[in-house]
Amino acid sequence: MIDLNKELREILFSEGAELAGVGSLAAAAPEELPLGVSVAVSLPAEVIASLPNGPAGIYYDAYFELNRRLDRIVAAGADYLTRSGYRARSQTTAAVREFGNYRTALPHKTVATRAGIGWIGKCALLVTEQFGPAVRLSSLTTDAPLSCAEPIDESRCGSCTACGRACPGHAVSGRLWHVGMDRDEFFDPLACRKAARKLAAEKLHQEITLCGRCIAACPYTKRYLNRMRNEPAR
């Protein structure tokens, strides 16, 4: 008997995923397809090292390169599930549309919390145990009979204030996320966007919303960097 979870994971990781999980979307969004598959790739250490003072060219380049990699990963996963006889829809950058107050119908980070990949931090980014918020995310939805992970329903940030202190837009309220909590109850996306665009204009001469200071400040990110520094060269 085919082990769909095992074969899907092998495909996702062979395409470059570093984290992957499956979760039920029943309580997350009115999705036609009931399961979500979340994938993540980490930011390279040298990119993170450039972020404390705002975005640099190396982050700008990595941002788009990782998005392209993620598009390939979720497209490969959706293709496998479709060929296996199930419906699947990849949430590539071309497929996802923003509406209203910088929202999407099914955010990648929502799928990631349902799939046990991480939780929503005080800066409204997904935080993972392995890489902190130093990840890019994508996802796909499906009706394939996959086994689901245990979801993460509340923040594990505790009393930490690192991202709030690093935020140039003062967008972080300090409130802890829990499932069902609206983003605007703990984070100000307009303040974040304004400050990020100002920094990007100064540092990159680009009209783009890109900052990254909260990523670099997170203790989980710093643990990831320390782990990378201590790993023997291959």
In our burial notation (b when 16+ CB lie closer than 10 A, e otherwise), range 81-99 reads beeeebebbbbbeeeeeee
Tens-digit pLDDT profile for residues 73-88 = 999 999 999 999 999 9
What is the average pLDDT value for the chain, to the nearest integer? 94
Evaluate if residue 89 carries a pLDDT over 90: yes
Tens-digit pLDDT profile for residues 167-211 = 999 999 999 999 999 999 999 999 999 999 999 999 999 999 999
pLDDT of residue 95: 85
Q: Model-level pTM? A: 0.93
Task: Round to whole Å and give the CA distance between 81 and 135.
Answer: 25
Domain range list for the chain: 4-228
Evaluate if residue 100 carries a pLDDT over 80: no
Tens-digit pLDDT profile for residues 33-42 = 999 999 999 9
- Residues 110, 24: contact at Cβ < 8 Å? no
Q: Which pair of structure tokens corresponds to residue 95?
A: 């497929």
Evaluate if residue 233 carries a pLDDT over 60: no
Higher pLDDT, 204 or 233: 204
Task: Round to whole Å and give the CA distance between 128 and 122.
Answer: 13
